[in-house]
Amino acid sequence: MAQLNEMWQCQTVNCGYVYDPDRGDRKGKIPKGTAFADLPEDWKCPICGATKKMFRQLGGGGTFEK
């Protein structure tokens, strides 16, 4: 599980969907509390199908890498 300071939101540049670790991704069966960096590499935006590389961090510090 990620540390609290690693729990930032990320937004896709394609459709504007925001991945919120506090909510997870019900459609993708990602539980609440899953940091963006901890999402499976094959996870995609539930709206437009964008890959993780098409997301940008919203606020906070650090990077997506572990």
Residue 43 within any structural domain of the chain: yes
pLDDT for residue 60: 57
Name the strand (E) or helix (H) holding 34: none
Is this prediction's pTM over 0.85?
no
Residue 20 within any structural domain of the chain: yes
**Whether 60 contacts 8, CB under 8 Å:** yes
Residue 62 within any structural domain of the chain: no
Count of domains forming the chain: 1
Residue 38 within any structural domain of the chain: yes
Triad 60, 62, 66: Cα angle to 5°? 130
CATH number of the domain within which 24 lies: 2.20.28.10
Residue 66 within any structural domain of the chain: no
Beta strands in 1-66 (DSSP E): 9-12, 18-19, 55-58
pLDDT for residue 7: 76
Domain that holds residue 50: 1-55
pLDDT for 4 beyond 60: no
**Whether 45 contacts 15, CB under 8 Å:** yes
